[in-house]
């Protein structure tokens, strides 16, 4: 079987608190993360929470990159989903490590949307 996509779950801990609460910076740098991974950006939507925290998504032709931050915990969660298995999510990950000043970080990748490669025949009934 082959997968339709790859979902990378990125964890960033011990980050710069100011950066985790800066909507403009996060939107700019999430777009840059998409670009360095060779994604085709369609649009982005970001929201500032009160009293703190940002959530946002960069929609790309290949799927999406999304972030949610908890400045009070120095933590950001990033989801990178792609249906283009040739994209370089490592570059996006490394970019975000630097931008967020993350002292502790890791990621996990999950193959998504398995399809069977065999042909399934449909039975036709005559009435």
Considering its fold, how many domains does the chain have in total?
1
pLDDT tens-digit series, residues 65-80: 999 999 999 999 999 9
Residue 118 lies in a domain: no
SS (H, E, C) the chain: CECCEEEEEEEEECCCHHHHCCHHHHHHHHHHHHHHCCCCEEEEEEEECCCCCEEEEEEECCEEEEEEEEHHHCEEEEEEEECCCCCCHHHHHHHHHHHHCCCEEEEEEEEECCECCCCCCCCCCCC
Q: Which domain holds residue 77?
A: 5-112
Q: What is the domain-level CATH number for residue 31? A: 3.60.90.10
Query: In the structure, what pLDDT confidence band is assigned to residue 125 with cuts at 50, 70 and 90?
Result: very low
In-domain check, residue 124: no
Say if 73 falls within a structural domain.
yes
47 is catalytic: no
pLDDT of residue 127 exceeding 60, the answer is: no
Is residue 44 included in any domain, yes or no?
Answer: yes
In the predicted model, is pLDDT for residue 121 greater than 90? no
Which tens digits make up the pLDDT trace of 83-92? 998 899 999 9
Annotation says 16 is catalytic: no
Say if 119 falls within a structural domain: no
Residue from 7, 16, 64, 83 carrying the catalytic annotation: 83
In a domain, 101, yes or no: yes
Q: What is the pTM of this model?
A: 0.86
Is 19 a domain residue? Answer: yes
Establish if 121 belongs to a structural domain. no
Residue 68 annotated to the active site: yes
Q: Residues 7, 16, 64, 68: which is the catalytic one?
A: 68
Q: Counting beta carbons within 10 angstroms of the beta carbon of residue 100, is it exposed (0 to 12), middle (13 to 18) or buried (19 or more)?
A: buried
Catalytic residue among 44, 63, 102, 105: 63
């Amino acid at each position: 079987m082959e997968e339709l996509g790859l979902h990378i779950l990125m964890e960033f801990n011990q980050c710069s608190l100011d950066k985790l609460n800066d909507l403009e910076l996060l939107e700019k740098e999430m777009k840059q993360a998409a670009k360095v991974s060779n994604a085709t950006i369609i649009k982005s939507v970001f929201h500032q929470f009160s009293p703190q925290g940002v959530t946002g998504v960069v929609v790309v032709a290949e799927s999406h990159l999304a972030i949610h931050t908890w400045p009070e915990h120095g933590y950001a969660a990033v989801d990178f989903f792609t249906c283009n298995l040739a994209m370089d999510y490592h570059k996006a990950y490394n970019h975000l490590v630097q931008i967020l000043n993350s002292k502790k970080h890791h990621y996990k990748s999950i193959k998504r949307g398995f399809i069977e490669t065999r042909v399934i025949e449909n039975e036709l009934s005559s009435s």
